[in-house]
Amino acid sequence: MRYLFYISTFIILTTIGFCTEDVSGVTTEESNMQGHMMAEQIIRWLHIFAGIMWIGLLYFFNFVNGAFAATMSGDTKKAVVPELMPRALYWFRWGAAWTWFTGVALLGLVFYMSIGGTMPADLFGDEWEGPKYYSLIAMLIPFLAVFLYDFLYKSPLAKNTRLITIISFLLIAAIGCFMTCDNWADFGYRAYNIHIGAMFGTIMAFNVWFRIWPAQQKIITAIKEGKAPDGDLVALAGLRSKHNTYLSLPLIWTMINGHTALFNIDSLGNEGYGVLLIIIALGWHIIFQCYKKSGKVKGF
């Protein structure tokens, strides 16, 4: 995957350099804006590519491989798993990494370097007041909430699935309220959607690299040696993968709504944040139904 980094960096820097050259009849500001927009589109292209790779494999693991693995004998698992899973997990974890890195780059280009209409207009002004501090806190939430999530799901509360799900939903609702309230962060519709999406994406990428992949390495090694994998590791990897699957559909919604305010319905909360809560609940239900169906699909 390092070659993807080299190629993408070269393309982006070349594009920006070309578009910031002194072109006759074009102002420096127009040229810089053109370079900015071209870099944004290239990064978005890579972001979608990496995201398809990551989420495609996520759905394969959860809706196909899980049910299939249950049909394999011990000898078959010993032959198949050490060959299949490291290959699949390579593309899975690097797809997650590149989706996250390019997503953060887009967040900066679209929402922090193009202030106006989506973020508070005076966010980077000279005067510092209460709402501005709240806005900056809201900008950090996507990257800090993962630690609260990890703490909650390692706590005894996680043993009660219904309770921890309700707590998680209420926390998301509270974050949405904080981001959209006029007296707090005062984010626009597009801005709070993409920041909550970034929060989901950060949690998912964290799960891949720091919970699923370390556990899977030990699980695969045990299977290769003909031993029973540690049940706690199997449960951890499975649970965090399931969390990622449930978060993926709401995340896709926030990515779409980072570009449009069509669903900004004020009757459903300030900046229409109630719409996002409905979509999260609906998305979780759709994923739940997909899990139910995956257990019923049989081979020939």
Q: Please report the pLDDT score of residue 7 as a whole number.
A: 59
Long-range contacts of 162-170 (CB under 8 A, 24+ apart): 169/277, 169/280, 169/281
Helix, strand and coil percent figures for the chain, each rounded to 5: 80, 0, 20
CA gyration radius, the chain: 22
| Bigger pLDDT: 69 vs 14 | 69
Residue type present at position 6: Y
Average pLDDT of span 21-43: 69
Alpha-carbon distance of 255 to 59, in angstroms, equals 18
On the question of pLDDT at 116 being above 50, the answer is no
Q: Establish how many alpha carbons lie within 13 A of residue 268's alpha carbon, considering only the half-sphere containing its beta carbon.
A: 14
Average pLDDT of span 261-281: 85
Phi-psi region of 152 (alpha: psi -120 to 50; beta: other; left: phi over 0): alpha
Question: Where does the pLDDT of residue 20 fall: very low under 50, low under 70, confident under 90, or very high at 90 and above?
Answer: very low
Average pLDDT of span 200-220: 98
Ranges of H-type helices in 208-230:
213-224
Give how far Cα 183 sits from Cα of 41, 68, 180, 277, Å: 34, 52, 9, 21
**pLDDT tens per residue across span 144-202:** 999 999 999 999 999 999 999 999 999 999 999 999 888 888 888 898 999 999 999 99
Q: Please report the pLDDT score of residue 174 as a whole number.
A: 96
Domain ranges, ordered by start, for the chain: 2-294
On the question of pLDDT at 25 being above 60, the answer is no
Long-range contacts of 82-85 (CB under 8 A, 24+ apart): 82/220, 82/223, 82/224, 85/216, 85/220
Question: Where does the pLDDT of residue 12 fall: very low under 50, low under 70, confident under 90, or very high at 90 and above?
Answer: low
On the question of pLDDT at 117 being above 50, the answer is no
Contact (Cβ atoms closer than 8 angstroms) between residue 252 and residue 234: no
**pLDDT tens per residue across span 97-114:** 999 999 999 998 888 876
